[in-house]
Structure 1
């Protein structure tokens, strides 16, 4: 059985091996462009966001400002990171789905049930990403509101961290599952039934996305790792995940 870290290590080596490395250049370029725009936007607006947020702290919590200020900063950074991560994956999804299919063929010797070309992968991936967004955005909105409620927002960094791990697991493990005709609802049941490998994988991927520049080259490895996790943890779990 592959644990999450082993899968990520092997997956990263795999995508840069001969025969697969040519499929990683397009998603790397997409990530580079999006993250460059992200840093420019955040640096231009971060100060204003922080001042507006701190202005909402009621006077009776003023004595906790030394604690609230860093928690607000952490929450704001997590929210911004989360938003731009969603945008990045929405754009890169067609390339990642295509890469996952090629990795599955090389790593397992089996063809995915849906072996699509890049053009069809792009169209199908867009629809699947919209389904993911419909699931993720309402939950992210609830967390965003919690982040603005005095007192409750003290827990928001932890909640955002757990939610980010879950979202990263959904985002990447969906690529091999979509290629094998696993519905989005069935995928969520399978991930919940194997909650520890799911959250550990999602947590490692979240950490990877925070590594400046290095994440551009490691995220394709996370796609390959998702294929390995699918093969060893989720492929045969449909009976366990049934409602």
Structure 2
């Protein structure tokens, strides 16, 4: 049965083959532009941001600075990570949708059900990303607040790990589902029904996004892997006995 690691590994091999490579270069260029912009911003503003937040700490808590400072650093890195992910998804959504559609044709021999034109596909893809953003962002804010509550914050790293995996599953597995006219609500139901495949895939993608520069070249493979998982586990709402994979 196809698992997340195998799907992404095979997907990465697929997208860099002749005939698919041209659908990969544009998303990489978008990711690289966003990556450089955010890294430059963080390098230039990091010290100022930390000084500002540390200035809000009451004087009687100065003795906890050794604990508070690393916590600020971790929170800031999480904000940058989610910003990078959400901005990249929003800008590159139409390109990722085209890539997923082409991979589905080449890897499975089936055309996606999407019969929209090029312009409408691009506009609808941006709208779908805003729907995903509306689902993910409020939950991320709640989790961020919970991360500062004593007692609960001990569980924060585990909660963030689960949330990140779920967020990535929604972000990437949605591309082949959107191409096949699966609604956002139905997509979430299918992901929950196959929760292990969803979370394991999202967890691997989360690890990929944390790899500097390498993530730019692995994310297209994650898109292709999402298509293979869609075909193996989510298309008909049940997992077949064995996934039929391309050679």
- Using the size of structure 1 for normalisation, the TM-score is 0.90
Residue-by-residue CA offset, 1:76-111 (whole Å, 9 max, x unaligned) = 211221122100110000000011010001111111
2:12 aligns to what? 12
Residue 71 of structure 2 is aligned to residue 71 of structure 1: yes
- Using the size of structure 2 for normalisation, the TM-score is 0.89
Residue-by-residue CA offset, 1:199-240 (whole Å, 9 max, x unaligned) = 11111111111111111111111110000111111112179x
1:43 aligns to what? 43
The number of aligned residues is: 239
CA drift at 1:156: 3.0
Structure 1: distance between partners of 2:147 and 2:49: 13
Structure 2: distance between partners of 1:233 and 1:62: 53
CA drift at 1:71: 3.2
2:142 aligns to what? 142
CA drift at 1:144: 2.5
CA contact (8 A) 1:74 1:157 kept: no
CA drift at 1:178: 0.4
Mean Cα deviation higher: 118-127 or 4-13: 118-127
Mean Cα deviation higher: 116-125 or 143-152: 143-152
Residue-by-residue CA offset, 1:162-208 (whole Å, 9 max, x unaligned) = 21111111000000000111110111111111111111111111111
Structure 2: distance between partners of 1:12 and 1:86: 22
CA drift at 1:67: 3.9
Structure 1: distance between partners of 2:60 and 2:154: 15
1:97 aligns to what? 97
SS class of match (1:24): helix
Check 1:113–1:238 CA distance in 2 against 1; reply closer, same or farther (3 A cut): farther
CA drift at 1:116: 4.2
Structure 1: distance between partners of 2:195 and 2:53: 34
Mean Cα deviation higher: 64-73 or 98-107: 64-73
- Displacement over 6 Å in runs of 4+: none
